[in-house]
Structure 1
Amino acid sequence: MADRISSDHSSLTTVRATLVRSGGLDRPKVEIPADDADAFPDGELVRVVADDTEYRARIESPLTDDGREIRGLYDSPTLARNPEDGENRLSSWMEGTDVEFGQSVLVDVIEEGFKYGLREPGERVFYDATESPDESLADIASGLDE
């Protein structure tokens, strides 16, 4: 069984982000401030744990500043690459919380560039400690998924 770590563990970095409206349909997105952008690689697919479920998300650079944003949580890497083909679980995560647009959310950096956690401020959660695959295995997996 994999080790589990809590969101208040000293090995985790926690970033205070903001849940904001996106687009004409008011879809939620997580805006990460520019000061913390280095921990979130632009254009990369990553794992994001929310409510004990692991999703895939693409980290993106917004047009307006040097921060980063997460526009959705998806069930697979393929759906994260092609969001129009799947359900965005970020909306359902938001509905299950007390967080409203314009309020803070916390993003825990579990494994930089690989795995993150999304939670409400004040909430304590546990994550499976998962290490990212080595570079050659990641390249093979990426090639198979495409």
Structure 2
Amino acid sequence: MTDAIPSDHPAVDSYRVELSTVGSTSRPQIVLPGDLECDVDDFVRVVVGGARAHAQVDSTLAGRPVLRGAYANKRLARTTDGENVLAEWLDDEGFQPGTTLVVDVLTDGYAYGIREPGTRVVYEPIEKPDSSLSEIADSL
């Protein structure tokens, strides 16, 4: 198990992103940088506002990867039922479309942190499960 890692650690790649909305709706979305190793329909772990959550990568009309929600578990992320901790955090912090945020890469393709620029966050380790175990879980 690795130690906690701060957002300003050299091992953490950080990308500035702009908060936007889905089309003409008021639903928030974060368009992810194109050079991340996550694809549309992938499930990733997200740390937002100190809470760990699960998110399914969606896409814009142009095919760019985007996060529109973060939920307590993978099933809720798939169905978008339950509490959307990403939307609640954005709302609680008063972030509006056009606000710049930072996406920290904790484990590319698996775990990301979202924070306000200039804010230092210490992330607890999020270990990627053994691939054979996650294949078994996905098949159930």
> Normalising by the residue count of structure 1, what TM-score does the alignment of the two structures yield?
0.86
2:126 to 124, 130, 137: 130
2:72 corresponds to: 75
Asked if structure 1 preserves the Cα contact closer than 8 Å seen for 2:48 and 2:85, the reply is no
1:59 corresponds to: 57
Secondary structure in 2 matching 1:3: coil
2:139 to 122, 139, 143: 143
Shift >6 Å, 4+ stretches: none
> What amino acid sits opposite 1:117 in the alignment?
G
> What amino acid sits opposite 2:28 in the alignment?
P
The RMSD of aligned alpha carbons is 1.8
Structure 1: give runs of 5+ residues left out of the alignment.
Answer: none
Secondary structure in 2 matching 1:138: helix
Residue 42 of structure 1: CA displacement?
A: 2.2
Residue 15 of structure 1: CA displacement?
A: 1.5
For residues 90-129 of structure 1, what are the structure 2 equivalents within 5 Å? Answer: 90-129=86-125
Aligned partners of 2:25, 2:78: CA distance in 1, in Å? 20
The 10-residue stretch of structure 1 (90-99 or 125-134) with the greater mean CA deviation from structure 2:
90-99
1:72-131 CA-to-partner distances (Å, cap 9, x unmatched) read 111110010001x22222221112325321121111110111111010111100111222
Asked if structure 2 preserves the Cα contact closer than 8 Å seen for 1:97 and 1:120, the reply is no
More helix by share: 1
Secondary structure in 2 matching 1:133: coil
1:50 corresponds to: 48
Asked if structure 2 preserves the Cα contact closer than 8 Å seen for 1:109 and 1:116, the reply is yes
> What amino acid sits opposite 2:30 in the alignment?
V
1:88 corresponds to: 84
